Structure 1
Amino acid sequence: MSLLDVKNLEVKFELRNGAVTALRDVSFSLNRGEKIGIVGESGAGKSVAAFSILNLISNPGRISGGEILFDGKDLSKLSPKEMRSIRGNQISMIFQDPMMTLNPVLTVSEQMVECIFAHTKMSKEEARKIALEKLKLVQIPSPEKRLDQYPHELSGGMKQRIIIAIALLLSPEIIIADEPTTALDVTIQAEIMDLLQELCESQNLALILITHDLGVVSQVTERTIVMYAGRVVEMGPTKEIINDAQHPYTQGLINALPQQATPGGRLNQIPGNMPSLENIPPGCAFSPRCSYATERCRAELPAFTQSGGCLVACHLIDELNASTLKDDKALAE
């Protein structure tokens, strides 16, 4: 049995002109100790999916359909009090911006101890001892000193390590990392991702990594979920998706990576923009940007098709695969 099962999840936002659907029929699972990635452009629904798992969708948003099963409990049906016992305790989240996540007027120790007190009854000395252990675990230099410092006294990389330490305080089973390296420079990004990977393996943590960076996903995760306009368009083993993307949108994301461009030439890009939630086209939402789109694509929502080890929501997957095989054969000859 999976540790987490998201089934047919739907999220709506009530606006003045009516409700818009931010997530449509999103389904995926997560096993104990497994690392999965959720990728897509800004506005694809990645963060909404992550926030839905912890029931952090605030008004005017709401979970309007589906199930989020964690150890057999539907998280979308729990009361606020029941959810508080799960957030930070069994499922923790690392948010995007370390500069904004920490409280600037509290020391690191006060913030970590407060988190422990919210879920357990123990003395301040015991809580501080656990906080110190977690700072050591995330390889903070001089952890005793850092405990009594304020966030403004720390670098961006140290702040993110402290946020990871806070996420680990109560030994959760799942970590959700929402763009955890967004505000950091490139070398620090690599350090933070290496640290997350080491911690998942040493602590047997399951990880949901939300990112737009396919390079990071390829190094860290075992399975990948590709989202577009609030819907999953492809999912499967990360290696298979990176090496042989099936959906035209996934192919576009991979072709847009800097290393795919000719040295000195222009970067590849997907033409057009993702549609707004108020104006998602009928049929396949990617059809206005897809060079392969047919009338069927523009009129009919594609169901999932098994292609290799992946599930792909594309009407043309058989034709595209056949065309690719012909191209490969021609190149071989």
Structure 2
Amino acid sequence: MSHLLEVKDLEVKFALRTGDLTAINGVSFSLHKGQRMGLVGESGAGKSVTGFAVINLISKPGFISGGQVIFNGRDLAALSDEAMREIRGNQISMIFQDPMMTLNPVLTIGTQMVETLQAHRHITRAEAEAIALEKLQKVQIPSPEKRLAQYPHEFSGGMRQRIVIAIALLTDPEIIIADEPTTALDVTIQAEIMDLLQQLCESERTGLILITHDLGVVSQVTETIAVMYAGKIVESGSTEKVVREPRHPYTQGLIKALPGSLQPGAKLHQIPGMMPTLTDIPPGCAFNPRCTLSQRICREQEPPFITIDGDACKVACHMVQPDASKASL
């Protein structure tokens, strides 16, 4: 099966007066048509920067300094701004964590949806309104005809996020990148939005990259998972395998921190320390100062990304033994 999206050795740097800082360091992953993937890690791990880099939307002083982002056979990292505009928001859509940052407060929902469609397709206003109506129905907005004439402030947070998803679906994209799409919502609405997103991806055969710190959400929605730490992927594989049998100490720590993993009343597990800043990434394995298994080799040598369990999982940890498969860089 050919890949719809293939990210190879992606590197993103930020140019500062003191020199370039590496934010993303050699990230690689792939996505098939209709596949749902989770990109997980704490704040500062590089998840959102990776998502923005996929659609070549890194703001200065950031820039893509290496690697490839192959989408339908084209390297997005090498395309001009004009060529990228044909793909961004059209073939690849993005959903942000705060819907009010996406929606224009002074335009009606209908106007915003019609303008989005007409920016990418040569269609009449009536045709655009018909498509907008259809997408609002798909995301289960009640009385969609009335809603087209309303403004963003007239909707609840959950409804606004549904509208943002409807806008992302307008052009029938092949991939949706969802960056913490439910952070601003309460738990019951979060579950509804994630169920909706999953159903839509399945029915439309749309690929999904779900960026989140919440392993609970990822385990319910995605098929594959990549765990990020300090700008690198430290573990990847099928979601079921990684969640059930995490190999990297960082992934183990994230899973132990989930409320559902403990007996009622037990104290939540916490990974000691903090994610390192870009200026202070330690030598060797970046996780070593926070790791209970850390040895001398962890402090001195960067662990290779090795294949384990046949081809089901990959992990970058000196304390995990490879199987018969060879280490892959």
User: Same-fold call, TM > 0.5?
Assistant: yes
Q: TM-score range, shorter-chain basis? A: over 0.9
Instruction: Name 2:59's counterpart in structure 1.
Output: 58
* Cα displacement string for residues 124-159 of structure 1 (whole angstroms, at most 9, x for unaligned residues): 111111111110111101100110000000010110
Instruction: Name 1:228's counterpart in structure 2.
Output: 229
Instruction: Name 2:326's counterpart in structure 1.
Output: none
Once the two structures are TM-superposed, the CA of residue 40 in structure 1 deviates from its matched residue by 0.3
Once the two structures are TM-superposed, the CA of residue 190 in structure 1 deviates from its matched residue by 0.5
CA contact (8 A) 1:246 1:307 kept: no
Matches within 5 A, 1:68-147: 68-147=69-148
Q: State the TM-score, normalizing by the size of structure 2.
A: 0.96
Once the two structures are TM-superposed, the CA of residue 255 in structure 1 deviates from its matched residue by 0.5
* Cα displacement string for residues 95-141 of structure 1 (whole angstroms, at most 9, x for unaligned residues): 11112221100000111011011111111111111111110111101
Instruction: Name 2:317's counterpart in structure 1.
Output: 314
CA distance in 1, matches of 2:239, 2:260: 18
Aligned AA for 1:294?
Answer: Q
Instruction: Name 1:33's counterpart in structure 2.
Output: 34
CA distance in 2, matches of 1:117, 1:172: 15
Q: State the TM-score, normalizing by the size of structure 1.
A: 0.94
CA contact (8 A) 1:8 1:67 kept: yes
CA distance in 1, matches of 2:242, 2:99: 30
Matches within 5 A, 1:112-191: 112-191=113-192
Aligned AA for 2:321?
Answer: D
CA distance in 2, matches of 1:24, 1:298: 18
Structure 1's unaligned 5+ residue stretches are 320-333
Instruction: Name 1:331's counterpart in structure 2.
Output: none
Instruction: Name 1:325's counterpart in structure 2.
Output: none
Q: How many residues align?
A: 319
Runs of 4+ in structure 1 over 3 Å off:
none
CA distance in 1, matches of 2:100, 2:173: 23
CA distance in 2, matches of 1:99, 1:116: 20
Aligned AA for 1:53?
Answer: V
CA distance in 2, matches of 1:263, 1:198: 32
CA distance in 1, matches of 2:136, 2:282: 48
1:118 is paired with a residue whose SS is helix
CA contact (8 A) 1:223 1:236 kept: yes
CA distance in 2, matches of 1:87, 1:122: 19
Instruction: Name 1:258's counterpart in structure 2.
Output: 259
CA contact (8 A) 1:46 1:210 kept: yes
